[in-house]
Structure 1
Amino acid sequence: MPSADLPLEECRAFRPDLPLPGGFDAFWAGTLGEAPHDGAPDKPRYKEVDCGLPRIRTYDVSIPGYAGRPVRGWLHMPTGATEPLGCVVEFLGYGRGRGLPHEELMWACAGYAHLVMDTRGQGWSAAAGVTPDTDPGAAGAVPGFLTRGIESPETHYYRRVFTDAVRFVEAMRVHPEVDPARIVVTGVSQGGGIALAVAGLVPGLAGVMPDVPFLCHIARGARIAGLPPYTEIASYLRLHHGRTEQVFRTLSYFDAAHHATRATAPALFSIAMADEICPPSTCFTAYHRYAGRKELRVYEFNGHEGGGAHHRAEQLAWVRDLFAP
């Protein structure tokens, strides 16, 4: 496969000037400090479901997210735990919903609580229950999510998604069966970008594991990626001439490479050098800017699938060591 981006050695040296947008910290402090709308649920709700798996307890979760509106998820917990559990909070790839309750069980099988967040508007399984995105701001957007509410940071889609993700972590911090000092966030692609954003917005996490992260150095991704979702931005700008500066200003508030500069938890990154969806130079931008202790696994000949099952084994070992007494 031809190189999708810069060669590995150039990516290792790639440190572009990427200034923070004005009022970045104040914007996010204000967003996360907003009170829920009237009538919104005030606390997480957990309903146990029978998946036919006697060693795993599974709960259908509804957690108040952005503006207090309920966001769905699955919480998996190993049976028989006698002490508070370490917890992995997982965010999903672009276009994925939480799916069915028995799909994602690795972390619970390893002995941890595992919370999977449905991504608003992206769910596919009506039977499993989905989280709609009913907020304003989709007018003029091209198909997809990157340009939804692109007119300003206040209306952009990922303002709502990042807030949902923070609320999911906060819910686990007060769950009686979870150790609040042992919470790790993770995700692949879009989920990796969300995990990086949460690491920058929530102090005191135990760790973060972003795999082939999306939403990093978005302006570069929009200009060089050959496949969606970054191409949604180019599609929008082909229709809306003269809005380039406005579009990239809005997106800069959701760029995980900026949030990485605020993150201090230990991190395990993965980057794939043949990735045409999340070009490796964009992922390296976030890695280089990450402010905490960090490790990196590079998959030189892999595309957006990254390290796959091999990297899951790396993650299992990394979390085991992270949570060791």
Structure 2
Amino acid sequence: MPLVDMPLDKLLSYEGRNPRPEDFDAYWERAIAEMKAVDPQIELRSSEFQVPFAECFDLYFTGVKGARIYAKYIRPKQSSEPHPAIVQFHGYSGNSGDWSDKVQYAALGYSFFSMDCRGQGGLSEDVGGMKGTTLRGHIVRGLDDHPDQLLFRDIFLDTAQLAGIAMSMPEVDPARVGAMGGSQGGALTIACAALEPRIKRLAPVYPFLSDYKRVWEMDLAKDAYQELKDFFRRHDPQHKREEEVFTKLGYIDIQNLAGRIEGEVMMAVGLADTVCPPSTQFAAYNKIKSPKSYELYPDFGHEGLPGFNDKTLQFMLGL
């Protein structure tokens, strides 16, 4: 098999390259406190899309810094007792997608929530307000400002807030909530379960937003990570701020959050992935302390992984 990264035995012991800020834990405790102090002002509107066995809603809530966040919410009509729920997150720049690929969980008696990330391709609001460049991406937004202004900080908090809202619904059993998503959605699945540790099961697929310095050193700051190269070329062409930049990115590096996860993890990795290199994914996986497993696809990159959607559904039946 051609190698685009480390051999598997090295991947399984790799601990990451990106710096971890000294005040990382305090940073996130402060962020969680800010999130919990927000009045979410939850609004449910019946969606135009409906199916006979479920109710479909457009759900809006207020996140940190006052942004209104949108999620699709589907709940089964026939449910005599609190039931499991899933929260789902989408890939970078995208949105929550169609309703029709989500109703399968409602048919199984699960509630299902799918969030639009603020300022990306859906309906969630980006309130802005940070200093510095916003060119070509959300990873770099806030790098020239206080770390609390990093945009992915707020997006990570949105995921945890949505999970908490799901758990607060009277029809949902808060002890039986799972999370899932691919690429950016895989990263947000990990962040969500780290910041809301009641998430019981999580199925991240080739997670993004991990081990930025490793991506840079592999010369893979392109595609989804192109904004890193653009940032240095335009704002630090001699890399005089390199250590500062990568350390600040450490606040929104999912490998540094992964150790907080308490739920069971099943992660999918394509070993030919040149968008989110396998080593960056294993940097996060290797820090998870809860029960975990991985599904390898040796010949696959950042693409559909045959059979993994079925594996995920079977995994979530264990909620």
TM-score (norm 2): 0.91
Moved more, 3-12 or 251-260: 3-12
Paired residue type of 2:140: T
What is aligned with 1:127?
Answer: none
What is aligned with 2:4?
Answer: 4
Moved more, 93-102 or 257-266: 93-102
> Helix, strand or coil: the match of 1:140?
coil
What is aligned with 1:233?
Answer: 228
**Cα 1:8–1:192 shift into 2, 3 Å:** same
Higher RCO (CA-CA < 8 Å; seq separation 6+): 2
Residues 53-81 of structure 1 deviation map (CA, whole Å, 9 limit, x = unaligned): 21221110002212343200100122211
- Whole-Å separation in 2 of the counterparts to 1:142 and 1:206: 37
What is aligned with 1:94?
Answer: 92
- Whole-Å separation in 2 of the counterparts to 1:181 and 1:35: 21
**Cα 1:223–1:234 shift into 2, 3 Å:** farther
What is aligned with 1:55?
Answer: 53
TM-score (norm 1): 0.90
What is aligned with 1:314?
Answer: 311
What is aligned with 1:141?
Answer: 134
Instruction: Say which of 78, 103, 106 aligns to 2:104.
Output: 106
Moved more, 246-255 or 1-10: 1-10
- Whole-Å separation in 2 of the counterparts to 1:100 and 1:138: 34
> Helix, strand or coil: the match of 2:223?
coil
Deviation at 1:199, TM superposition (A): 1.6
- Whole-Å separation in 2 of the counterparts to 1:304 and 1:261: 25
Moved more, 237-246 or 132-141: 132-141
- Whole-Å separation in 1 of the counterparts to 2:16 and 2:138: 26
Residues 110-147 of structure 1 deviation map (CA, whole Å, 9 limit, x = unaligned): 321110011001125xxxxx112122126323312111
- Whole-Å separation in 1 of the counterparts to 2:282 and 2:160: 24
**Cα 1:263–1:52 shift into 2, 3 Å:** closer
**Cα 1:18–1:123 shift into 2, 3 Å:** closer
Deviation at 1:172, TM superposition (A): 0.9
Q: Which runs of 5 or more structure 1 residues have no equivalent in the other structure?
A: 125-129
**Cα 1:119–1:17 shift into 2, 3 Å:** closer
- Whole-Å separation in 2 of the counterparts to 1:317 and 1:99: 22
- Whole-Å separation in 2 of the counterparts to 1:236 and 1:35: 29
**Cα 1:146–1:17 shift into 2, 3 Å:** closer
Q: Which runs of 5 or more structure 2 residues have no equivalent in the other structure?
A: none
Q: How many residue pairs get matched? A: 314
- Whole-Å separation in 2 of the counterparts to 1:306 and 1:227: 20
- Whole-Å separation in 1 of the counterparts to 2:126 and 2:102: 23
Paired residue type of 2:89: F
Conserved? CA contact 1:146–1:229, under 8 Å:
no
Root-mean-square deviation (Å): 2.1
What is aligned with 2:169?
Answer: 175
Instruction: Give identity over the alignment, percent.
Output: 29
1:251-290 equivalent positions in 2, closer than 5 A = 251-290=249-288
Deviation at 1:4, TM superposition (A): 2.6
**Cα 1:172–1:22 shift into 2, 3 Å:** same
Paired residue type of 2:235: H
**Cα 1:306–1:296 shift into 2, 3 Å:** farther
What is aligned with 1:303?
Answer: 301
- Whole-Å separation in 1 of the counterparts to 2:268 and 2:304: 7
